[in-house]
Structure 1
Amino acid sequence: MRRILAAVALAATLLATAACSSDDDQPGPAGGGTKVSVGVIPIVDVAPLYLGRERGFFSSRGIDLSLALEQSGATIIKAVLAGKYQFGFSNVTSLMAAKSDGAPLKAVANGCASTGRPGRDFSAIVVADGSPIRSAKDLAGKRVAINALKNLGDTTVRQSVRRDKGDPTNIQFQAMPFSSMPAALQSHQIDAAWVVEPQLSEVLTQGGQVVASNFVDTAPDLTLALYFTGMPLIDKDPDLVKRFADAVNESLEYAAGHPEEVRATVGTYTKINDVVRSAMILPSWPHDVNRASVERLAALGRQDGILTKPPALDELLP
Structure 2
Amino acid sequence: MIRFRVAMAAASVLFLAACGGGQAGPSGAPAGTSSGPTSVKVSVIPIVDVAPIYLGVQQGFFEEEGLKPELVPAQGGAAIVPAVVSGQVEFGFSNLTSLVIARSKGLPLKVVAPGAGSTGVRGKDFGGVVVKAGSPLKSAADLVGKRVAVNTLGNINDTTVRASIRAAGGDQKNVNFVELAFPDMLAALEAGNVDAVQVVEPFLATALKNGDRVIASNYVDAAPELTVAGYFTSEQTATAKPDLVKRFTAAMRKSLKYATDNPDAARKVLLTYTKIDSALTGSLTLPTFPAEINTKSLETLIQLALQDGLIQAAPNVNELLP
Q: What TM-score, normalized to structure 2? A: 0.92
8 Å CA contact 2:271, 2:278 repeated in 1? no
Counterpart check, 1:238 vs 2:242:
yes
Contact 1:5 1:101 in 2 (8 A): no
Partner of 1:260: 264
1:37–1:86 Cα contact (<8 Å) kept? yes
Matches of 2:296 and 2:128, distance apart in 1: 21
Aligned residues of 1:2 and 1:101 also touching (Cα < 8 A): no
Aligned length: 305
Do the aligned residues in 2 keep the contact of 1:73 with 1:94 (CA within 8 Å)?
yes
RMSD: 1.3
2:210 is equivalent to residue 202 of structure 1: no
Look up the SS of the partner of 1:10 in the other structure.
coil
Answer yes or no: is the 8 Å Cα contact 1:160–1:217 preserved in 2: yes
Equivalent in the alignment of 1:214: 218
Q: Once the two structures are superposed, what CA deviation does each residue of 1:86-140 show, in whole Å capped at 9, x if it has no partner?
A: 0000011000010010001100011111000111000100011211111101101
1:188 matched to which residue of 2?
192
1:109 aligns with one of 102, 109, 113 = 113
Select between 46-55 and 166-175 the one with higher mean Cα deviation. Answer: 166-175
Provide the C-alpha distance between the structure 2 equivalents of 1:213 and 1:316, rounded to a whole number of angstroms: 27
Q: Unaligned 5+ residue runs, structure 2?
A: 22-34
For 2:275 and 2:5, locate their aligned partners in 1 and report how far apart those are by CA, in whole Å: 34
- Alpha carbons 1:11, 1:230 under 8 Å: kept: no
Aligned to 1:24: none
Residue 159 of structure 1, aligned match among 157, 163, 184: 163
Write the letter of the residue equivalent to 2:301. Answer: L
Give 4+ residue runs of structure 1 displaced > 4 Å after superposition. Answer: none
1:5, 1:102 within 8 Å by CA — same for their partners in 2? no
Taking the TM superposition and a 5 Å limit, the aligned residue runs for 1:28-47 are 32-47=36-51
Q: Equivalents in 2 of 1:90, 1:216: separation in Å?
A: 19
Report whether the alignment pairs 1:170 with 2:178: no
1:142-183 residue CA offsets vs partner (Å, 9 max, x unmatched): 111111110001100000000110111121111111111111
Q: Does 1:148 align with 2:152?
A: yes
SS at match of 1:267: helix
Give, as a single letter, the amino acid of the residue that structure 2 aligns with 1:196.
V
Q: Partner of 2:52 in structure 1?
A: 48
AA at the equivalent of 2:193? Q
SS in 2 for 1:9: coil
Of the candidates 288, 294, 300, which is equivalent to residue 290 of structure 1? 294
Which residues of structure 1 form unaligned runs of 5+? 20-30
Offset of 1:32 from its aligned partner?
4.0
Residues 1:144 and 1:2: Cα distance change in structure 2 (over 3 Å): closer
2:89 corresponds to which of 85, 89, 97: 85
Corresponding residue for 2:123?
119
Question: Do the aligned partners of residues 191 and 2 (structure 1) sit closer, same or farther apart at CA in structure 2, a change above 3 Å counting?
Answer: closer
- 2:115 and 2:228 in contact (8 A); partners too: yes
Answer yes or no: is 1:271 the counterpart of 2:306: no
